Amino acid sequence: MQGLLFLSPYTLARGGELSTLTDLSFANRGRGEPLLAARGVTKRFPGVLALDRVDLDVEEGEIHAVLGQNGAGKTTLMNILFGLLQPDEGQLYVRGQRVHFRSPHDALAMGISMVHQTRKLVPAHTVLENILLGHPGTRGFLNLRAIRREVEELCSRYGFTVDLGAKVWQLSEGEKQWVEILKALYGGAKVLILDEPTSVLTPPEVKTLMASLQALVQDQGVTVILVTHKLPIVTAISHTVTVLRSGTVVARLRNSEATEQVLVQHMIGQDIALSMADLPVEKGRPLLRVEGLSAYNDKGVLSLRGVSFSLREGEILGIAGVTGNGQEELAQVLAGLRPPASGKVLFDGRDVTWLPPLDRWRRGIGYVPAERYEVASVAALTLVENTALNFHFDPLFSRRGLFNHPGLEQVTRHILLSYKVKAPHPYAQARHLSGGNLQKLILGRVLSRKPRLLIAHLPTQGLDVEATAFLRGKLLEAKAEGAAVLLISEDLDEILSLSDWVAPIYEGRFAAILPREEADAETVGAMMAGLYRKEARVP
């Protein structure tokens, strides 16, 4: 059982005593040299000071949370710790020894491993193949049976249950994350950097992850650096919190001092209202009517199975569900990006079931897709050109085939200003925007068209508290101005705080369509999990 951990040069350096590691995990915290330290780390990107003289101390055997809003510099700092980026100034130390990570290779050799926000697995390969990929022990010939034994042993030690023979594309997001963590541990990692590990997980998966991380730290002496902006996770499991704001460290707290309120203040630098005022709206006339809509997903499985509803102007219908229950297909069919298998869509009394996307934009259907980077923006184009994604067909901005560049720039400037997008200038490339700022730009673009129907798919996923509150406010404004909003979200709080109607979706069907007053978190949560289903009512 000890054989595996000895693979790590780090363990070897410590004399290879596994038991010592375990003892050290808590006892040693807070004294002696930190396991991993950053001193005065500064990193500049074009036009942005991403990190400004950041100090970080990670003690051995702790869960160290790095908290901050989008764009605070968390990911940049982690990329430096993992050798993906080099600091412009400042130094890194491992156990007091100055180190230089020229590439992740150097960091891995020191037992530092990172699990990225986006999965870095080969979907067509099995779990086992993914785990051994890139492992220093695999050269030339593979002894798959021996490796499988080792990995199985590792799994049972950490209490993971993953089918090693399964192909990665068959796994859920939570399982994929386990595979990545397992891969890191198999590679001899003693320090695990997890970048936003919970952003794609369902609530039960988050719970499992948190429990397993605690077990890893307590029983195996692994040190975890947890990058997140989710306060409950920080207060629940971290031993120490370092809070970043705009590239500087604003606080370093022990768990006992770190209440959610204190953390929010540090993160944001001010108090913000976390609850929102409900704007009273008159019920408008019916705008959208969907009848028995079904659609296949990319794998050819019927994943939207007969959904019917109608929506009035000035109403928000919140579709609550765990990702993968047909929400994406519903949004895409309504946006014209996926053909329906059956059913009908009526918009403002007209059958638009087969209308191409461009005509939908023209008629006032606006779509904010879940994939900010992959679908809703073009990284290599400027912000002005990204704005044009929603305006290139508009006669105001394209006359006789020629682009109205000044007009587009004006619109972009207006969006940057009124949506508080932090960007150096309108001609910066979209790739330089953080997730929150990009999402503000995208919602700003779509809402600037004054759509009559807005389809917002995971509009605040992965965003910090401030951006989330801001964007939710904008959705309510749009509703107040008479837009019908289809809000698709995994976040039950978001659904319940914004919607007039709540439709929990499970396996491609609405479990019910409840008026907001009848929708409480427990009922909707149970319906999302497929526990029971009422007869769907059409409001």
Partner 1 sequence: MRIGRYELTLQPRPERPGVHSALTAIPAILLALALSSLLFLPADTGFLSAYRAVFSYAFANPHGLQATLYRAIFLWLCTFAFLVPLRAGLWNIGLPGQVYAGALAAFAVPYALRVNELPAPPLPAGLVILLMVLGATIAGAALAGLAGVLRAKLHVNEILVTMMLNSILFWLVAYMIKEGGPFMSLTGEGESFNLPPPLYAPLLRDVPFTALLALAAAGLLDFLFAKTTLGYRIRVFGLNPAAARYAGINPVALSLLVFLLGGAFAGLAGYHYFAAVPGVYKIPGNYGYYGDLAFYGIICALIARGSAVGSVPIALLFAGLSLGARFAQGQFHLPFGVDYALLGLLMMAFVASHFLYQFRVVWRAVAVEAVPHVPTRIPER
Which residues of the chain form contacts with partner 1 (CB under 8 A)? 33-34, 37, 39-40, 45-46, 55-57, 86, 91, 93, 96-98, 100, 102, 249-253, 262, 265-266, 335, 337, 356-361, 367, 369, 371, 374-381, 385, 388-390, 392-393, 398, 401-403, 405, 429
Cβ closer to partner 1: 273 or 402?
Answer: 402
Structure tokens at 498: 């914004």
Cβ closer to partner 1: 486 or 512?
Answer: 486
For residue 96, the minimal CB distance to partner 1 (Å) is 5
Is residue 506 classed as helix, strand or coil in its secondary structure? strand
Structure tokens at 182: 């397992």
- Residue 103: how many other CB atoms lie within 10 Å: 11
Cβ closer to partner 1: 185 or 441?
Answer: 441
CB 7 within 8 A of CB 137: yes
Cβ closer to partner 1: 14 or 449?
Answer: 449
Cβ closer to partner 1: 84 or 215?
Answer: 84
Q: How many helices (H) and strands (E) does the chain have?
A: 18, 23
For residue 307, the minimal CB distance to partner 1 (Å) is 22
Cβ closer to partner 1: 116 or 392?
Answer: 392
Structure tokens at 495: 């659904």
Q: Give the CA distances from residue 453 to residues 472, 516, 527, in Å, rounded to whole numbers and listed in that order.
A: 16, 20, 26
User: 102-110 contacts: CB < 8 A, separation 24 or more?
Assistant: 107/81, 107/82, 107/83, 108/187, 108/188, 108/189, 109/9, 110/9, 110/10
Structure tokens at 462: 């992965």
For residue 375, the minimal CB distance to partner 1 (Å) is 5
Tell me the Cα Rg of the chain: 25
For residue 226, the minimal CB distance to partner 1 (Å) is 18
**What region does 292 belong to: left with phi over 0, alpha with psi -120 to 50, or beta?**
left
Structure tokens at 75: 């990911």
Cβ closer to partner 1: 374 or 522?
Answer: 374
Cβ closer to partner 1: 273 or 380?
Answer: 380
Contact residues for 389 (Cβ-Cβ < 8 A; gap 6+): 376, 377, 378, 445
For residue 67, the minimal CB distance to partner 1 (Å) is 14
